[in-house]
């Protein structure tokens, strides 16, 4: 609206000026030597305006002509960029579809059109890996790692490659560099944990373990690896705190406390562990300092009195009572187990042993023994250290399953095919 008004005003002004010129009249004279030119004022003004317009058009044309190469360059760059973007998209599709040859061609096109950008380098690396060309992927990852804006991407690729070819030393170095480039990256944390497990660096694995991880197993494994007794003691304490029912940690922690002169604390640890998850080894550790057979029965009562009905409490009490010649006590415990349906093979075998201890080598004893041995054959087996991942049995607890290599999966459990006793 304002613009229209201004144009109207300008037109009015020009008209008024033209009118004034026409009214006023007059001549403009130019004389050079003998030449003389005279034109009327309106005509002169018209000529002036006309030549101004022509000059202006000429200059504008020249300017446009001078800018032409730059504009054409810009248009060409724009076209290359959009062609390059399209090639990147097609390369991504080819990668997702798992067609390495197509991916390689599109990536090459994209690199030609866009140059080496983080995107094209990463695509080149992924396409090379898909096509099984690890050396070419390494080159691309290295180029990425040299760019400050894409350093982490490059290191991540190189780390993955190092782990794949099991070059733990290089992987360790790359993980450190990647951590420096992108501190606290969640992916890196997981990868570093895998690395720590593979290299059996239990301390590092423990430090990186998520809250639900096998912290007790890792802490105990780290303690076994530790040469400094104070640090080993701290790790054992940590393992016991993570899982008081984890017998090997409780035993190690108690042994360390007893060695340091804290016998009372050591006993408290074993008691707590027995409450959490009774295990024959805890019983053995508890009784280790009591050689007298009758005294052992009393000592064991101190350990088991709070969960005397637990099958492991009854089994161990039967064993110690039988050893001390208290056959009546042993029979009471074992028959309670059978009555509760919680007797495993160990209980039946001990009953067979008990018959002989009570009655000697008699026909009645042999008949009773045969009955218990039949029971033993049908009873569930004793719990063992078993790998939850592959089912392999182990004679003692270990951090790592020697059969399948899984870490922190070996647990004290009943045979897989039979429900747990008790």
Residue among 277 and 389 whose Cβ is closer to Zn ion:
389
Of 266, 268, 212, the closest CA to residue 243 belongs to 212
CB of 193 to Zn ion, least distance (A): 19
Residue among 319 and 409 whose Cβ is closer to Zn ion:
409
CB of 398 to Zn ion, least distance (A): 10
CB of 221 to Zn ion, least distance (A): 15
CB of 404 to Zn ion, least distance (A): 3
CB of 420 to Zn ion, least distance (A): 19
CB of 368 to Zn ion, least distance (A): 40
CB of 199 to Zn ion, least distance (A): 19
Residue among 14 and 404 whose Cβ is closer to Zn ion:
404
Q: Which residues of the chain form contacts with Zn ion (CB under 5 A)? A: 387, 389-390, 392, 401, 403-404
Query: How far apart (Å, rounded) are the C-alpha atoms in residues 150 and 314?
Result: 64
Residue among 111 and 386 whose Cβ is closer to Zn ion:
386
Residue among 283 and 408 whose Cβ is closer to Zn ion:
408
CB of 394 to Zn ion, least distance (A): 9
CB of 386 to Zn ion, least distance (A): 9
Residue among 87 and 410 whose Cβ is closer to Zn ion:
410
Residue among 8 and 388 whose Cβ is closer to Zn ion:
388
3-state secondary structure the chain: CHHHHHHHHHHHHHHHHHHHHHHHCCEEEEEECCEEEEEEHHHHHHHHHHHHHHHHHHHHHHHHHHHHHHHHHHHHHHHHHHHHHHHHHHHHHHHHHCCHHHHHHHHHHHHHHHCCCHHHHHHHHHHHHHCCCHHHHHHHHHHHHCCHHHHHHHHHHHHHHHHHCCCHHHHHHHHHHHHHHCCCCHHHHHHHHHHHHHCCCHHHHHHHCCCCCCHHHHHHHHHHHCCCHHHHHHHHHHHHHHCCCCHHHHHHHHHHHHHCCCHHHHHHHHHHHHHHCCCHHHHHHHHCCCCCHHHHHHHHHHHHHHHCCCHHHHHHHHHHHHHCCCHHHHHHHHHHHHHCCCCCHHHHHHHHHHHHHHHCCCHHHHHHHHHHHHHHHHCCCCCEEEECCCCCEECCCCCECCCCCCECCEEEECCCCCCCCC
CB-CB neighbours of 359 under 10 Å: 15
Asked if residue 394 lies in contact with residue 411, where contact means CB atoms within 8 angstroms, the answer is: no
Residue among 114 and 389 whose Cβ is closer to Zn ion:
389
Residue among 43 and 388 whose Cβ is closer to Zn ion:
388
Asked if residue 392 lies in contact with residue 357, where contact means CB atoms within 8 angstroms, the answer is: no
């Amino acid at each position: 609206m304002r613009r229209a008004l201004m144009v109207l005003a300008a037109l009015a002004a020009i008209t008024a000026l033209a009118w004034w010129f026409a009214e006023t009249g007059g001549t403009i004279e130019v004389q050079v030597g003998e030449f003389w030119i005279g034109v009327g004022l309106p005509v002169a003004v018209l000529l002036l305006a006309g030549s101004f317009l022509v000059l202006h058009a000429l200059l504008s044309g020249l300017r446009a002509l001078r800018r032409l190469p730059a504009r054409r360059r810009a248009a060409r760059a724009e076209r290359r960029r959009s062609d390059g973007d399209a090639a990147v998209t097609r390369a991504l599709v080819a990668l997702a579809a798992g067609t390495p040859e197509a991916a390689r061609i599109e990536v090459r096109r994209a690199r030609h059109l866009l140059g080496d950008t983080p995107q094209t380098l990463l695509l080149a690396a992924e396409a090379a890996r898909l096509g099984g060309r690890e050396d070419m992927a390494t080159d691309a990852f290295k180029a990425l790692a040299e760019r400050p804006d894409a350093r982490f991407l490059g290191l991540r690729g190189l780390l993955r490659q190092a782990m794949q070819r099991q070059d733990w030393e290089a992987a360790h170095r790359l993980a450190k560099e990647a951590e420096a480039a992108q501190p606290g990256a969640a992916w890196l944390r997981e990868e570093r944990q895998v690395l720590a497990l593979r290299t059996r660096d239990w301390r590092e694995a423990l430090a990186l373990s998520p809250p639900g991880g096998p912290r007790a197993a890792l802490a105990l494994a780290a303690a076994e690896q530790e040469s400094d007794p104070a640090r080993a003691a701290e790790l054992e304490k940590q393992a016991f705190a993570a899982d008081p029912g984890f017998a090997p940690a409780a035993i190690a922690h108690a042994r360390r406390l007893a060695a340091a002169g804290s016998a009372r604390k050591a006993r408290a640890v074993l008691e707590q562990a027995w409450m959490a998850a009774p295990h024959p080894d805890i019983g053995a550790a508890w009784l280790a300092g009591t050689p007298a057979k009758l005294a052992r029965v009393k000592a064991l009562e101190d350990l088991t009195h709070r969960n005397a009905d637990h099958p492991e409490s009854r089994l161990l009490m039967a064993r110690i009572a039988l050893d001390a010649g208290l056959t009546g006590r042993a029979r009471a415990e074992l028959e309670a187990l059978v009555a509760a349906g919680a007797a495993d093979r160990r209980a039946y075998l001990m009953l067979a042993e008990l018959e002989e201890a009570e009655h000697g080598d008699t026909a009645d004893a042999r008949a009773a023994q045969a009955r218990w041995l039949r029971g033993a054959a049908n009873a569930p087996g004793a719990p063992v250290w078993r790998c939850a991942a592959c089912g392999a049995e182990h004679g003692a607890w270990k951090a790592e399953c020697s059969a399948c290599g899984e870490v922190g999966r070996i647990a004290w459990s009943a045979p897989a095919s039979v429900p747990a006793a008790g």
